[in-house]
Amino acid sequence: MRGRVVLEVPAKAEYLLLARLAATSVGRSAGASEETIADLKLAITEAVANAVRHAYPEGTPGRITVELVTAPERLEIVVSDTGRGLTEADVALPDDDGPAEGGMGLSIIRAIADEVELTPGPDGQGTRVRFACVL
């Protein structure tokens, strides 16, 4: 079943649940195995949590967009925001104090999904993480 679902939420931690539920629902509709769905949820969690943490300065309102596109044999997800764009924290390597959250998040996505791509958003604003899972 081909389709595109777009979820847009405020950039707040409590809405991470909705992104995970969207992934669960779309994944099941697409016939993904429970294992793949668990991976999808984990990858989406990392991407959205990263945006919640870094995209917008403390206290300013901002939104996060999660696109889920199903195609035969494949589910593609794009998590984007229109915030301050890629920062050091997003791509930081772990240091003396242990793994930087952003860097670890990306490592996890890379460990799980295929075609992971991290780019600035449209017009150079914000960040866009795209990844896909083979079904």
Partner 1 sequence: MNDVVSLTLPTGPGWTGVAELVLAGLGARLDLPYDRIDELQLATRAALSDAVGPDVRVDATAGPDAVDVRLGPLVADAAADPGRRRVLDALADRVELDPVEDGVTWAVLTFARGGAR
Partner 2 sequence: MASDDQRALLVAYLQEGDARARDRLVEDMMPLVRSLANRYAGRGEPTEDLVQVGAIGLVKAIDRFELEKGVELSTYAVPTIVGEIRRHFRDRTWAIHVPRRLKELSMRLARMRDELSAELGRSPTVAELAEAVGVDEEEAIDALEASKAYAPRSLDQPYDEDEPGRVPGLADEELGYESLERGSVVRQGLDALDERERRIIVLRFLRGMSQSEIAAEVGISQMHVSRLLRKALEVMRGRLEEPEVTA
Name the residues that contact partner 1, by CB under 8 A.
1, 3-10, 12, 14-15, 17-18, 21-22, 24-26, 28-29, 61
64 interacts with, out of partner 1, partner 2, none, CB within 5 to 8 A per kind? none
Would you mind telling me the total number of residues written for the chain in this entry?
135
The candidate with the shortest Cα–Cα distance to 116, out of 62, 77, 63, is 77
Q: How many residues sit close enough to partner 2 to count as binding (CB under 8 A)?
A: 27
Which spans of this chain sit near partner 2 (rule: CB under 8 A)? 17, 20-21, 24, 28-29, 31, 33-35, 38-39, 42, 45, 93-96, 98-99, 103-104, 107-108, 110-112
